[in-house]
């Protein structure tokens, strides 16, 4: 059986950016999800819109969108992409208690948008943490993962 090869490592073990020049342009989409858990008292303040820094969910949504657009500047071997759509949703979940964050990113290009979706979720979660840390420093960001991708050589993948 052939050994799996990392696409970002050359034959000498050096990091390199993958050449996507010969790949076909295809419609691509990725969805990522994660969450941030907090104490019930913090969740209640968030739910009632009483955080001193303002509208936590809207600010985190905008941060996630901005982060998806900046992914290639944050992750060294990611290609800069023209993104067609970014949708970041933050949903209060009393059972956690906390916030579930989901990001969907679409493009028509030669490489996928999985990293952009994951980055959007990560930065949105970090923004929630930043905005609630005055009342709780123990909030936990967790379970950030890709849940679906469409397009490209590997085709459609649903991880849920």
Calculate Rg over the CA atoms of the chain: 18
Which residue is associated with the tokens 């959007």?
120
Active site residue 130: yes
Calpha distance 72→158 (Å, rounded): 24
Active-site pick, 2, 10, 27, 130: 130
Contact 150, 27 (CB under 8 A): yes
- Residue 2 three-state SS: coil
Q: Which amino acids are annotated catalytic?
A: 130
């Amino acid at each position: 059986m052939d050994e799996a090869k990392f696409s970002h490592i050359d034959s000498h073990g050096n990091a390199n950016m993958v050449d996507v020049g010969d790949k076909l342009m295809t419609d691509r989409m990725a969805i990522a999800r994660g969450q941030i858990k907090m104490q019930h008292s913090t969740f209640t303040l968030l739910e009632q819109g009483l955080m001193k820094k303002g509208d936590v969910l809207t600010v985190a949504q905008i941060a996630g969108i901005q982060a998806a657009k900046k992914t290639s500047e944050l992750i060294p071997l990611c290609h800069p992409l023209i993104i067609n759509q970014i949708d970041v949703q933050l949903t209060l979940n009393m059972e956690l208690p906390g916030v579930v964050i989901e990001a969907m990113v679409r493009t028509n290009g030669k490489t996928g948008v999985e990293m952009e979706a994951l980055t959007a979720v990560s930065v949105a979660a970090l923004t929630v943490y930043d905005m609630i840390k005055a009342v709780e420093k123990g909030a936990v960001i967790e379970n950030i993962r890709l849940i679906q991708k469409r397009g490209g050589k590997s085709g459609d993948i649903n991880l849920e």
